[in-house]
């Protein structure tokens, strides 16, 4: 049996981390799979990992301290800035040394890198004959500095997997003079849930990391308008992050009494909440794929997103299995939500189409694309 290593920064909460766990669970049905992760942020991975997958924590005694360093800078506490800066240098040194040592010494036939920095290290230190696959989850969002770094990191890979067809076309053009092959394989969900939402409860929902690019403040602005006309509809937000205090402040300032911040939650909790929800709202500024949309759609919940979220454009066919709002137009977003609120028939039609469209993103289907890639790489037995 061939061996596949997946390189991960950590196995805490996050879209990339969820995708890593799903991929490992898919591949372990045919391969010996190992996840090498730089940091141990939690006692156990945030997402389910099959018992056949081996997890190696390269550093279980250090953690990134970016937020602590930023707080020290904000307070202008020079002593704490020095302490946090010194610790940060130690963390970064350990991260590089431990991952590079792993890449040099691992006996895997395939290495799948999930970050640009891992791409560079894999290309520099992987043994001869190892198939080097990069896996890019983020959209460059017109940031050519970011895109150029990704391009440079991928030049010496064997394959570069992109989660959207748009990204595959972009990077294929940019890497045309290199030997790397750019391939589109979407992210996936593990399976379709047996239960779907009745779409009768007056609940709006959104799930994601509470960070600026996810646009949760804009979501609250949308809800602030809605609550005046639809006061019996509540809003559930699942996730945690640096924006939490800003959201709490906005909720208090505008007396949004029917908003609940649930914090980080596991799959069962989120599945239960989706079963009780009638509309999913995404207000992200940018989104490489939008796996949370697939999860909501799999429960038959109609989804609305701003089209600035590139991944939403990949998944939603506006007017059929969901709705896309152009130019981050808040009035258009509010109007479309109201249309869905006022018509249970529309909710059910869109929700039914949404669930049907998710079939091509289940792990049974997507796993075959990964198996084909690995077979064609020449290492398949």
3-state secondary structure 70-109: HHHHHHCCHHHHHHHHHHHHHHHHHHHHHHHHHHHHCCCC
pLDDT of residue 304: 98
Residues 287 and 328 both lie in one domain:
yes
Question: Is residue 198 in a domain?
Answer: no
Residue 307, helix vs strand vs coil: coil
Residues 207 and 180 both lie in one domain:
no
Question: Is residue 136 in a domain?
Answer: yes
pLDDT for 91-114, tens place per residue? 999 999 999 999 999 999 999 999
With 0-12 CB in 10 A as exposed, 13-18 as middle and 19+ as buried, what is 139? buried
Question: Is residue 278 in a domain?
Answer: yes
- For the chain, how many structural domains are there in total? 2
What residue numbers bound the domain in which 50 lies?
3-190+362-376
Residues 208 and 181 both lie in one domain:
no
32 strand-pairing partners: 3
Report the alpha-carbon distance of residue 216 to residue 257 in Å, rounded. 16
Question: Is residue 154 in a domain?
Answer: yes
pLDDT of residue 380: 45
Residues 368 and 354 both lie in one domain:
no
Q: Residue 359 carries which DSSP code?
A: G
pLDDT of residue 381: 45
Residues 245 and 259 both lie in one domain:
yes
- Going from the C-alpha of 46 to that of each of 20, 43, 99, 118, 255, the distances in angstroms are 11, 9, 21, 21, 33
- Token look-up 């609120």 returns 341
Residue 174 CB: number of other CB atoms within 10 A?
19
pLDDT per residue as tens, the chain (381 positions): 899 999 999 999 888 999 999 999 999 999 999 999 999 999 999 899 999 999 999 998 998 988 888 888 888 888 898 898 999 999 999 999 999 999 999 999 999 999 999 999 999 999 999 999 999 988 888 899 999 999 999 999 999 999 998 899 999 999 999 999 999 999 999 889 988 999 999 999 999 989 999 999 999 999 999 999 999 999 999 999 889 999 999 999 999 999 999 998 988 999 999 999 999 999 999 887 888 999 999 999 999 999 999 889 989 999 999 999 999 999 999 999 999 999 999 999 999 999 999 999 999 999 999 999 998 876 544
DSSP string across 210-267: -SGGG-HHHHHHHHHHHHHH-TT-EEEEEB-STTHHHHHHHHHHTT-TTEEEEES--H
Residues 113 and 180 both lie in one domain:
yes
CATH number where 68 lies: 3.40.50.2000
pLDDT of residue 379: 54
Question: Is residue 142 in a domain?
Answer: yes
Residues 238 and 208 both lie in one domain:
yes
Residues 159 and 213 both lie in one domain:
no
Question: Is residue 196 in a domain?
Answer: no
Question: Is residue 108 in a domain?
Answer: yes
Report the alpha-carbon distance of residue 48 to residue 43 in Å, rounded. 13
Residue 141, token pair as written in the block: 């969002």
pLDDT of residue 267: 86
DSSP string across 124-184: HHSPTT-EEEEEE----TT-HHHHHHHHHHHTT-SEEEESSHHHHHHHHHHTTTSSPEEEE
Report the alpha-carbon distance of residue 75 to residue 69 in Å, rounded. 10
Contacts 24+ apart (CB under 8 A), 302-306: 302/199, 302/278, 302/340, 302/346, 302/347, 302/350, 302/351, 302/354, 303/279, 303/354, 304/279, 304/280, 304/333, 304/336, 304/337, 304/340, 305/281, 306/215, 306/218, 306/282, 306/333
Residues 249 and 328 both lie in one domain:
yes
Residues 278 and 181 both lie in one domain:
no
Report the alpha-carbon distance of residue 83 to residue 201 in Å, rounded. 51
Residues 128 and 55 both lie in one domain:
yes
Residues 35 and 147 both lie in one domain:
yes
Question: Is residue 197 in a domain?
Answer: no
pTM of the model: 0.88
């Amino acid at each position: 049996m061939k061996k596949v290593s997946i390189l991960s920064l950590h196995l805490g909460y996050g879209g990339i981390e969820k995708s890593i766990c799903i991929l490992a669970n898919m591949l372990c049905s045919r391969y010996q799979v190992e996840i090498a992760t730089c940091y141990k942020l939690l006692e156990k991975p945030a997402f389910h990992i099959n018992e056949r997958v081996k997890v190696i924590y390269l550093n279980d005694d250090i953690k990134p301290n970016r937020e602590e360093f930023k707080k020290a800078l904000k307070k202008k506490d020079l002593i704490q800035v020095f302490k946090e800066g010194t610790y940060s240098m130690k963390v970064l040194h350990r991260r590089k040394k431990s991952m590079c040592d792993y890449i040099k010494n691992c006996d895997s036939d395939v290495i799948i890198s999930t970050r640009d920095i891992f791409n560079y290290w894999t290309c520099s230190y992987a043994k001869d004959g190892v198939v080097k696959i990069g896996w890019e989850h983020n959209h460059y969002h017109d940031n050519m500095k970011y895109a150029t770094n990704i391009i440079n990191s991928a030049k010496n890979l064997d394959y570069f997997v992109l989660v959207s067809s748009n990204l595959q076309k972009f990077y294929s053009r940019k890497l045309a003079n290199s030997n790397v092959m750019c391939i589109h394989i979407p992210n996936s969900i593990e399976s379709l849930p047996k239960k779907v939402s009745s779409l009768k409860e007056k609940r709006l929902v959104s799930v994601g990391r509470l960070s600026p690019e996810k646009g949760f403040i804009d979501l609250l602005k949308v809800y602030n308008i809605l609550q005046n006309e639809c006061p019996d509809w509540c809003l559930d937000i699942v996730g945690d992050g640096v924006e939490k205090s800003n959201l709490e402040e906005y909720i208090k300032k505008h007396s949004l009494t029917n908003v609940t911040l649930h914090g980080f939650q596991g799959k069962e909790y989120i599945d239960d909440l989706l079963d009780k929800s009638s509309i999913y709202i995404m207000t992200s500024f940018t989104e490489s794929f939008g796996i949370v949309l697939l999860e909501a759609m799999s429960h038959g919940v109609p989804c609305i997103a701003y089209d600035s979220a590139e991944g939403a454009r990949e998944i939603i066919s506006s007017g059929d299995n969901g709705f896309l709002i152009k130019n981050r137009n808040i009035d258009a977003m509010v109007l479309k939500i109201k249309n869905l609120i006022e018509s249970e028939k529309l909710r059910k039609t869109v929700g039914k189409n949404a669930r049907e469209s998710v079939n091509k993103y289940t792990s049974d289907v997507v796993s075959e694309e990964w198996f084909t890639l690995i077979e064609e790489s020449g290492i398949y037995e």
